[in-house]
Amino acid sequence: MMSNQQERAVKALEQRARRKAKSVGLAAIKARKGVGSVDNLGGFRIIDAILGTIEAGERFELTAEEVIAYCSAE
């Protein structure tokens, strides 16, 4: 189990990933329901904010760090 400080650090990193995606016209969506299924690995998916098309993470397999790296390369 994570400590309160660790939980805050994870949430801050996830928010940073969402802000980075938004800054390049994308949206980082975190999986909530169905986590652990074949098509939902519990991570992030990046979608085009206007078109709604999946750019990366089709199976919600991206980490927050991977979202930041992907958006930095855009």
> How many domains are there within the chain?
1
Is 0.85 topped by the overall pTM?
Answer: yes
Range of the domain at 63: 4-73
pLDDT per position as a tens digit, 6-59: 999 999 999 999 999 999 999 999 988 777 777 888 899 999 999 999 999 999
Max Cα–Cα distance, the chain, nearest Å: 38
Element (H, E) at 5: helix 4-23
